[in-house]
Amino acid sequence: MAATTVPLQRTWRRPGKPVLVAGVLLAWVLIWLPTRGLHTLGLSPADLTPLHHWLNDVNDTVGANRNSSPIFLYFFNEIRAAVDSLVTLLQDLIAQPSYGRPVPVLGWLGVVAVVAYLSWVFAGWKPALLAAAGFVFFGLQGLWEESMDTLALTLGAVLISLLIGIPLGIWAGLSDRFHRLVTPALDFMQTMPTFVYLAPLTLFFLIGPASATIATLIYAVPPAIRLTAHGIRSVPRSAVEATESLGATGRQKLTGVLLPLAKRTIILGVNQTIMAALSMVTIAALIDAPGLGKTVVKALQTLDVGTAFNAGLAIVVMAVVLDRVTTAAGNRVRTTGRVQRFRKPLLVVFGVVAAVCAYLSHTYFWAAEFPDDFAIGSTLSKGADSVALWAQEDLSTTTEAIKNAITYALLNPLEALLVESPWWLVGAVAVLLAALLGNLRAVIVTAVCVAVLIGTGLWQDSMTTLAMTIVATAMVMILGVVVGVWMGRNRLADRVIRPVLDAGQTMPAFVYLVPFLALFSATRFTAIVAAVVFAAPVAIKIVADGVRGIPATTAEAATAAGSSTWQMITKVQLPMARPSLTLAANQGLIYVLSMVVVGGLVGAGALGYDVVAGFSQGQLYGKGLAAGAAIVVLGIMLDRIARASSPSKGSNQP
Amino acid sequence: MKLLRLTATATLTALALTACGGEKIGDTPAAGASSGAAACGTFNLAVNPWVGYEANAAVIAYVAEKNLGCKVTKKDLKEEIAWQGFGTGEVDAIVENWGHDDLKKKYIDEQKTAVAAGETGNKGVIGWYVAPWMAAQYPDITDWNNLNKYAAQFKTSESGDKGQLLDGDPSFVTNDEALVKNLKLNYKVVYAGSEAALITAFRQSEAKKTPLIGYFYEPQWFLSELKLVKINLPKYETGCDADAAKVACDYPEYVLDKIVSKKFADAGGPAYQLVKKFTWTNDDQNLVAKYISEDKLSADDAAKKWVEANPDKVKAWLAQ
């Protein structure tokens, strides 16, 4: 449809392309009819291939040599000790009884004061108030200690992420070669399900905060590297050339021009790293990471929706506070020019107040332990419970109907086509599509991906997962366009919806699994809905941003020419926001894939189940690892085909 | 403006420094360093993620702390990782183990980092269950021979034109695909993927009177909320499940046991003696599990409640 409405863009190089694509798809269905059920490479949940056995053996060998190999004694153990002491230090400081005291070094009053003070210094009044309110809220929820444990772990992971990520990001920003080398590795780190490497991590780094921090780190460091590199690469050439002409050394160029100009993007990277770290809280709880994640996981065991919600809400609040503070700090970097007259004395005065609060919380019990007289945690969880119950009882008939409609009309036919086609047919279609939409590179990547999928021994499961991924990504894009355009056109809508989107992105999936299961049963559709809740916010935000980024003059010209609202959206705003739409689809897809494992917990089966099973059962470990790899490969394949078909080829990778 | 703020802060500071006293930290002796811990030392207890296990762990930890003066460190871990912890010295005991022959072979026979420490007294039952309303309405459903008659009722969006048999958490070994095939049942096994999914499904089935048949097990806290009815599969006989592909009989009764690290066993301290002697019944466990899950007591309070009501059983574990 886009091809006919947007003649200006060089979307299709040959006019016949949509026809060709349709032809390929039609041919697929026609060949599928007589061949369905042949060569589908099925593998039942308990069966293993030689590759899976071999991966098991590797895992066993590592475990058996844990205590004798020098690599462990002098390398992994050292890393572990360093990470462990950092996290323990942070915990002693704010979360756990330490140094022979019954309470941490800083009590609640001190933490609130210090956080508010730092937020004020770096971000301003509003974020400081928000931070103070948010932190007091943790105490009111009755989750002070858990929240501080989570904060300590998050800070530890973020600090190390930045220590590693910013230098690597600078390197990737300066060297094209390193950038090409590191990008696929970062893709891999972000799409490989965490469940796959949790067990090996505890083998390498033992059980405890160190392993949890490193697991978090693996997921959280890529944004820091990517955005630092992006920031350095976006520095205008003219600025760099100017310094070069003045004879600056490489070091001077970096510290004098590149880093200052890239500062805002780097801070955005810090922000994204914090968000990623927080989203790992519940997963890390499975290897004994302390904090809010434990509360969520324990509540899930007894299907206690209210308690899980209470803890999940604390995670959301922490994410929102940290997001707003770092974003405001990032924006402030640009406007450091106007220093207020009162700032210096205020810095001192508030510094003294914060120090006094810290001292008090170090010395007196009332300032150290949050008083539980005002606890609202149980009220909150009771409220959440009754809402969940109401939804389950009164809505589930409707939701069952929606589930059935989408499953029978969309998901089942698509899955039948993908799963029951012979592997060579699906492979041929994928390669043909890559050839039609993209270039030789896309063809090669697709062919390799198909081969790897077959190699994992999980072809059929991959196809089942692929069908779900396509449906979920389509739903994400529909939501992204509808809500994103609305938010982009309407400031008020943006202000109201944005916190909801933040909650969708940071509320741990474990919290809403139980209500969703009641609404949609243990089905593939539940997995799709969970994925949409997580992935739609990012798509919506990107689309809204794109729509808002359209120059005002263009919109005014269209209005002057007498466009209706509908024409305005379809003829001007959407076509002009096209790069944003592509980016939204790409990010939406990655987010959907990162939820495949959660889908495995709610009845989606396929790759998600394989990964969870591999985490739970020793003899399925290798299969779980292969399934994790299959998820990564699916992501690469879909991304390459989709990106090859977009007008701005890959230039919008953040 | 500036003056106002300065005054305000000055007042606050003065107020904080002089007016408010309150109990000072350090006036009372620190709680952690109580006596008696030396005899027992630190006891690292793995807590696997299900409530029945938590009940075992809660009671053992409570007795170890109160009666033996141990410092108990509970570690929340999945089974596979808990077993790994024996080798790295970070886990001393697992106190409810379901089978796991592969792990026994790997860690007890091959790596020799773990040893068995006897039964918990709990009997593990695995099987196919339906909600009580179904068993009441269709009494003959509990015989597997009649299952095909009901297959159409169990159809869902996930099972195509067959009946759906809902399987659960991948941690548990299941023969269900082989069973369906070998008993020639017109069913498809659908994997719910988690215990939460299974329990929610059974809850919905009872509340809305929708047909559901699925894999379940006891001891389990949920059974004190909803008494599920077990389907009788062909009776289990020793060896009838030897070939995984040809299984056509019910699941054996699992004898749940305790596993400890070899180091912990060799040292033979009081905590080890306690773990070794600990045994109780399914009813005991279900009761403590109910305290935790339904009455929402903390693990420690639930254990206290049970221990105080059962002094004889506790005494037997502590006897020399």
Contact residues for A85 (Cβ-Cβ < 8 A; gap 6+): none
pLDDT of A314: 94
Do B49 and A297 count as a contact with CB atoms less than 8 A apart? yes
Phi then psi for A91, rounded to 5 degrees? -65, -45
Instruction: Check if the beta carbon of residue A272 is closer than 8 Å to that of residue A223.
Output: yes
* Cβ atoms A380, A309 nearer than 8 A: yes
Which pair of tokens denotes residue A4? 């006919």
Q: Are A160 and A220 in contact (CB under 8 A)?
A: no
Which chain A residues in 209-268 lie under 8 Å from chain B, judged by CB atoms?
Answer: none
- Note whether A302 contacts B78, CB cutoff 8 Å: no
Q: How far is CA A597 from CA A493, A531, B140, in A?
A: 33, 10, 38
Is a pLDDT exceeding 60 seen at residue A231? Answer: yes
Q: Please tell me the least confidently modeled range out of A24-38, A118-132, B201-215.
A: A24-38
Residue B71, strand partner residues: B42
The answer, yes or no, to whether residue A590 has pLDDT greater than 60, is yes
Which pLDDT band holds residue A569 (cuts at 50, 70, 90)?
confident
Note whether A206 contacts B90, CB cutoff 8 Å.
yes
With an 8 Å Cβ cutoff, are A616 and B170 in contact? yes
A352 touches chain B (CB under 8 A): yes
Cα B267 to chain centroid distance, Å, stands at: 27
pLDDT of residue A4: 44
pLDDT greater than 80 at residue B26: no
Using CA atoms, how far residue A447 sits from A23, A51, A586, B153, in Å, is 20, 20, 20, 44
Closest chain A residue to the Cα of B88, Cα to Cα: A206
Name the one residue in this structure whose structure tokens are 């909803």. Answer: B226
pLDDT of residue A61: 79
Contact status, residue A530 vs residue A597, Cβ threshold 8 Å: no
pLDDT at B103: 86
Query: Is the pLDDT score of A648 beyond 80?
Result: no
Sign, Cα dihedral of A193, A194, A197, A198: negative
Nearest to B156 among A286, A521, A600 (CB): A521
pLDDT at A474: 92
Highest mean pLDDT: which of A460-474, A598-612, B76-90? Answer: A460-474
Q: pLDDT tens digit string along A366-423?
A: 877 888 777 788 888 888 888 888 888 888 788 888 888 888 888 888 988 888 888 8
Residues of B in contact with A514 (CB under 8 A): 196, 200
* Alpha-carbon distance values, A193 to A63, A267, A316 (Å): 21, 26, 22
Q: Which residue from A199, A352, A602 is facing B193, i.e. has the nearest CB?
A: A602
The DSSP call for residue A287 is B
Q: What pLDDT, on a 0 to 100 scale, did the predictor assign at position A207?
A: 84
**CB atoms A294 and B190 under 8 Å:** no
Task: Mark yes or no for CB contact B194/A202 under 8 Å.
Answer: no
Q: Which pTM does this prediction carry? A: 0.86
Mean pLDDT for A10-26 is 71
Q: What is the pLDDT of residues B121-159, one digit of tens each?
A: 999 888 999 999 999 999 989 888 888 989 888 988 888
Could you give the CA distance from residue A596 to residue A607 in angstroms, rounded to a whole number? 7
- Tell me the C-alpha distance between B205 and B156, whole Å: 13
Question: In the structure, what pLDDT confidence band is assigned to residue A8 with cuts at 50, 70 and 90?
Answer: very low
How high does pLDDT run on average in chain B?
Answer: 85
Q: What is the mean pLDDT of residues B276-302?
A: 90
B248 φ, ψ to 5°? -140, 30
Please check whether residue A542 is in contact with residue A484, taking contact to mean a CB–CB distance below 8 angstroms. yes
H/E stretch holding B216 reads: strand B213-218
Q: Residues A511-526: what's their mean pLDDT?
A: 88
Q: What is the mean pLDDT of chain A?
A: 84
Query: Is residue A631 within a helix (H) or strand (E), and if so which, with residue range?
Result: helix A621-644
Q: How confident is the model at residue A340 (pLDDT cuts 50, 70, 90)?
A: low
A403 touching B (Cβ < 8 Å): yes
CB atoms within 10 A of CB A320: 18
pLDDT tens track for A201-224? 888 888 888 889 999 999 999 989
Residue B35 banded pLDDT, cuts 50, 70, 90: very low
pLDDT tens per residue across span A47-104: 778 888 888 888 777 777 766 777 777 788 888 889 989 999 999 888 888 887 888 8
Torsion angle in degrees (nearest 10) through CA of A252, A254, A256, A258: 150
Q: Are A95 and A150 in contact (CB under 8 A)?
A: no
**Across A421-426, average pLDDT:** 88
Contact indicator for B308, B148 with CB cutoff of 8 Å: no
Q: Is A68's Cβ below 8 Å from some Cβ in B? A: no
Q: What are phi and psi of B126, to 5 degrees?
A: -115, 145
- pLDDT on residue B13: 56
Alpha helices in chain B (DSSP H): 2-14, 37-40, 51-66, 79-88, 101-103, 132-137, 147-150, 176-182, 195-208, 262-267, 270-277, 282-293, 299-309, 311-318
- Asked whether residue A168 carries a pLDDT value surpassing 90, the answer given is yes
- Assess whether pLDDT exceeds 50 at residue B34: no
Please name the residues between 271 and 290 in chain A that touch chain B, using a CB distance below 8 Å. 285-288
The whole-number pLDDT of residue A25 equals 87
- Nearest CA to CA, how far is A125 from chain B (Å)? 14
Q: Which one of A194, A361, A521 would you mutate to disrupt binding with B, by most B Cβ within 10 Å of its Cβ?
A: A521
The partner residue sitting opposite A522, judged by closest CB among B23, B166, B173, is B166
- Confidence bin at B17 (pLDDT 50/70/90): low
Contact state of A365 with B25 under an 8 Å Cβ cutoff = yes
Please give the Cα distance from A424 to A426 (Å, whole number). Answer: 6
Question: Cβ separation of A522 and B197 shorter than 8 Å?
Answer: yes
Q: Do A202 and B81 touch (CB under 8 A)?
A: yes
The alpha-carbon gap from A636 to the nearest alpha carbon of chain B, in Å, equals 26
Give the residue from B194, B171, B26 showing the smallest Cα distance to A597.
B194
Q: Half-sphere exposure of A216 toward its Cβ, with a 13 Å CA cutoff?
A: 41
On the question of pLDDT at A650 being above 60, the answer is no
Contacts of A60 in chain B (CB under 8 A): 106
Mean pLDDT, residues B194-201: 88
ipTM value greater than 0.90:
no
Separation of alpha carbons B227 and B245, rounded Å: 31
List the one residue out of B252, B247, B245, B249 whose CA is nearest residue B235: B249
Instruction: Search chain A and give the residue with CA nearest B222.
Output: A302
> DSSP characters for B88-136?
HTS--EEEEE---HHHIIIIIIIS--EEEEEEEEEEEEEEEEE-HHHHH
Query: Does A370 reach chain B within 8 Å, measured CB to CB?
Result: no
Of A63, A64, A603, Cβ closest to residue B193: A603
Q: Which candidate, B172, B175, B199, places its Cα nearest to that of B189?
A: B175
Residue A125 has pLDDT above 70, yes or no: yes
Please state, in angstroms and rounded to a whole number, the distance separating the CA atoms of residues A364 and A144. 17
Q: What is the rounded CA–CA span in Å between residue A309 and residue A315?
A: 10
Nearest to A610, CA basis, from A390, A462, A446, A408: A462
Q: What is the 8-class DSSP label of residue A66?
A: T
Residue partners of A621: CB distance under 8 A and separation at least 6: A55, A56, A59, A199, A614, B80
- Helices (H), ranges, A456-508: 459-489, 491-506
- Residue with more model confidence, A577 or B199: B199
A105 has pLDDT over 80: yes
The contacts of residue B286 (CB under 8 Å, 6+ apart) are B52, B218, B219, B220, B221, B223, B224
pLDDT value, residue A442: 85
Given CB atoms, is A375 within the 8 Å cutoff of chain B? no
The C-alpha torsion from A551 through A552 and A555 to A559, rounded to 10°, is: -160
Residues of A in contact with B54 (CB under 8 A): 301
**B13 token code pair:** 């500071």
Angle between helices A144-174 and A292-301 (to 10 degrees): 120
Which residues of chain A are within 8 Å of residue B111 when distances are taken between CB atoms? 63-64
| 3-state SS assignment for residue B143 | strand
CB contact under 8 A, B78 and A602: no
Q: Is the bond into A102 cis (omega within 30 degrees of 0)? A: no
Cβ separation B156–A362 shorter than 8 A: no
> In chain B, what percentage of residues exceed pLDDT 70?
88
pLDDT band at B63 (very low <50, low <70, confident <90, very high): very high
Confidence class of residue A5 from pLDDT cuts 50, 70 and 90? very low
Judge: A362–B25 Cβ closer than 8 Å, yes or no.
yes
Mark which residues 379-398 of A lie under 8 Å from B by CB.
392-393, 396
Q: Which of A199, A521, A603 sits opposite B81 (nearest CB)?
A: A199
CB-CB under 8 Å, A199 with B84: yes
Euclidean distance between CA atoms B186 and A152, whole angstroms: 53
Q: Which residue of A has its CA nearest to B48?
A: A286
Q: Which secondary structure element, helix H or strand E, spans residue A159, and what is its range?
A: helix A144-174
Element (H or E) spanning B73, and its range?
strand B71-76
Q: Residue B110 — pLDDT band, cuts 50, 70, 90? A: confident
Is the pLDDT reported for residue B14 higher than 60? no
Structure tokens that stand for A82 in this block = 């360093």
Q: CB–CB of A522 and B200 under 8 A?
A: yes
pLDDT band at A316 (very low <50, low <70, confident <90, very high): very high
